[in-house]
Amino acid sequence: MAIENTIINPISAIETLPPEIISQLTPLILLAKTVGIVFLIYIVFLIVKGVLTIRTSSRIKSIQKKVNEIDHKLSKILKEKKEHSEKESKKKK
């Protein structure tokens, strides 16, 4: 029953290994640390990229609104000009 309740501490398990095995595991530990650092940098990169994408998307939406307003105003002006030119052509006849 006492064995079931025992929690193995990985640090103490590593300390009990012979020095020959520890010296062979050193490159693997270094590689694991390097992969961890690269993974953290990648996560930070993804977060920054996400924030920039959100900002860019909001800028595009505001530009799209302005373009739609300009298009609406231009359509209105062109419609008025067309009506005015039709009236002018009817007067000349």
In a domain, 4, yes or no: no
**Rg over CA atoms, the chain:** 36
Measured CA to CA, the distance from residue 79 to residue 72 in angstroms comes to 11
State the pLDDT at residue 13.
72
In a domain, 71, yes or no: yes
State the pLDDT at residue 47.
98
Measured CA to CA, the distance from residue 22 to residue 20 in angstroms comes to 6
Domain that holds residue 36: 12-92
In a domain, 6, yes or no: no
In a domain, 64, yes or no: yes
In a domain, 74, yes or no: yes
Tokens read off for 42: 């990648």
Question: pLDDT under 70 in the chain at which residues?
Answer: 1-6, 92-93
Q: What's the total number of domains in the chain? A: 1
CA nearest to 60, candidates 50, 49, 68: 68
In a domain, 22, yes or no: yes
Q: How many helices (H) and strands (E) does the chain have?
A: 2, 0
Tokens read off for 25: 């595991």
In a domain, 20, yes or no: yes
In a domain, 3, yes or no: no
What's the pTM value of the predicted model, to 2 decimals? 0.58
